Every structure is written in structure tokens, then in C-alpha cells.
Amino acid sequence: MKKIFLSSFFFLPFATLHAQSDTPAQPVKTGNEWRLPADVFKRSRIFSDSLQKSLGLDATQTKKVYEAYLANTKSVDEILMLPVSADEKKEKMKANHDAFNATLKGIFTPAQFGKYIRLDAARAGKTKAAGN
């Protein structure tokens, strides 16, 4: 009996860590309350860091991109939680993406924004190809 108890006591923390890492962070909305998923800061950092490298952003621009992505996360998650058809969600996501691009246009130089649009179009092309 002691062996069973000790072995379960030993493996319990590992099982808990494994279960937590497999669960994607989802936004939680109850009424008018919305909480950020746990990974939103990490996603924002990855997005801004990747643009910093690919577009040659300075520290100020990188911080603004990070904040813009972070602010956009709430509206994207709210669209995903709407009880509407997939076509309506797709329309709303496109409008949101266009608004986000307009925000980024105000942060980037014209050359950086042009390169960003090309990168974004390439990424969207890969997404469509993977979805088909």
C-alpha cells in the first residue's frame, strides 16, 4: 500500500504539468467580462519579435507592434466566440485584420509596411493552401 501511495505521490506533479501543457489557453467570457488567455503575452512577443527581425524594426516600433497585437487579441477572441455562422465570422475577421493592418501602417515606414503586406499575403496563401 505504501508503494502505491508513494509512487502516485511521485508521479502526480508530472501528470499535472503534462495536463497543463496540453491544454490550449482559451479566452473566458461570462457576461461582459473577458479574461486574456494565458499565452497571449507570449504570442504577442513572438509576433513582435518576428516582425522586428524580418522588417528591421527599432525598439520603439517593436513595442508598439507588441501593444497593438495585444490589444487586437481581445477583438479576435470575441469574434471567435460569437454565436454566428462561419461566413459571418470570416467577414468580421477580415474587417478586423484590415483594421489591424491600418494600425500597423501607422507604426511602420512605407518600405516596412510594403514588406509586411507581402509577408502577410504569403502567410495567408500558405494558410489557404493548408486548409484545402
pLDDT, residue 2, reads 52
Averaging pLDDT over each range in 37-41, 57-61, 75-79, 125-129, which range is the top one? 57-61
Neighbours of 73 (CB within 10 A): 19
Average pLDDT of the chain is 79
Residue 67 burial (10 A CB sphere; 0-12, 13-18, 19+): middle
Cell 493552401 maps to which residue? 129
Mean pLDDT to the nearest integer, 77-105: 93
Question: What's the grid cell of residue 1?
Answer: 500500500
pLDDT > 50? residue 65: yes
Cell of 93: 475577421
Could you report the per-residue pLDDT of 14-60, keeping only the tens digit for each? 444 444 444 445 555 555 555 667 788 998 999 999 999 999 999 99
pLDDT of residue 111 exceeding 90: yes
pTM for the whole structure = 0.68
